Amino acid sequence: MISAKPLSGKIALITGANRGIGLAMARLFASAGATVIMNSRTVGSLDALAAGISAEFGVPVQPSYFDVTSAEAVKAGFMAVHKEHKRLDVLVNNAGILRDALIGMAPEALIDDVIATNIKGVILCSQMAARMMARNKSGSIISLSSIIGRVGNEGQSVYAASKAAVIGFTYSLAKELGPQNIRVNALAPGFIDTDMIKAVPAEKHAKIVGNIKMGRLGKAEDIAQAALFLASDASAYVTGQVLGVDGGMLV
């Protein structure tokens, strides 16, 4: 039987939680009973959001400000979690950026920014989470890949490379951490209605939606529900998986 509060008693840290998918996850995890730590690199951006979610669902929701691309900052952020809570049960590596460019036109700064946030940040946060989770021989690490990391897309080679790397990292880390009962999985969202797609031209937008078998854009809440499953004990025997949440784009 699935509990009405499947994350009750769990400590969950979600990176990039100030909007979109990350914010939807923070709300859903709080409603499921978790103590939620919302991360952003923009100081002050989460104060009101965290307080509002905490008041709405009656659980502790805390802002945590650090840049996932900085090893020193990540270490400090996770040490603060350990100091206060003594444990970490769930990490969601959600922080990510999208920078489109044809490969011949991609400047080094764009490449560095995308790789640093989308894969270096995942590795750094997972490294710290694994150390904390190993003490309790339990935990769930969930990383956000993308449908683009599975099939690619023109003009998004750098982004695709970063998201494909998340998949390879997930497979490897699941093998490494499985003996410690730490589960490692990834989500591969399709075309999701967030700020990331606002710049897509109307004609291209319509074409993409036409390729979605379920006939609609995904919602941030669709991804959050999948993350909830992987964070909860309902997926206690699931690790090393990449779950596509794309409405049938790859069918």
User: Which pLDDT tens digits describe the chain residue by residue (251 residues)?
Assistant: 567 899 999 999 999 999 999 999 999 999 999 999 999 999 999 999 999 999 999 999 999 999 999 999 999 999 999 999 999 999 999 999 999 999 999 999 999 999 999 999 999 999 999 999 999 999 999 999 999 999 999 999 999 999 999 999 999 999 999 999 999 999 999 999 887 676 677 777 788 888 899 999 999 999 999 999 999 999 999 999 999 999 999 88
- Identify the active-site residue in 65, 159, 171, 237: 159
> In which residue are the tokens 């940040």 written?
121
Q: Are 241 and 185 in contact (CB under 8 A)?
A: yes
> In which residue are the tokens 């695709």 written?
160
Confidence (pLDDT) at 196: 67
Active site residue 237: no
Task: Kindly give the residue spans of alpha helices, DSSP state H, lying in 15-70.
Answer: 20-31, 47-57
Confidence (pLDDT) at 48: 98
Confidence (pLDDT) at 250: 86
The amino acid sitting at 86 is K
**Residue 1 to residues 6, 231, 239, Cα–Cα distance (Å):** 10, 16, 21
Element at 148 (helix H, strand E): helix 148-151
Element at 63 (helix H, strand E): strand 61-65
Per-domain residue ranges of the chain = 11-244
Kindly report the pTM of this predicted structure.
0.96
* CATH number given to 11-244: 3.40.50.720
Confidence (pLDDT) at 1: 52
Pull the structure tokens for residue 144: 């956000």
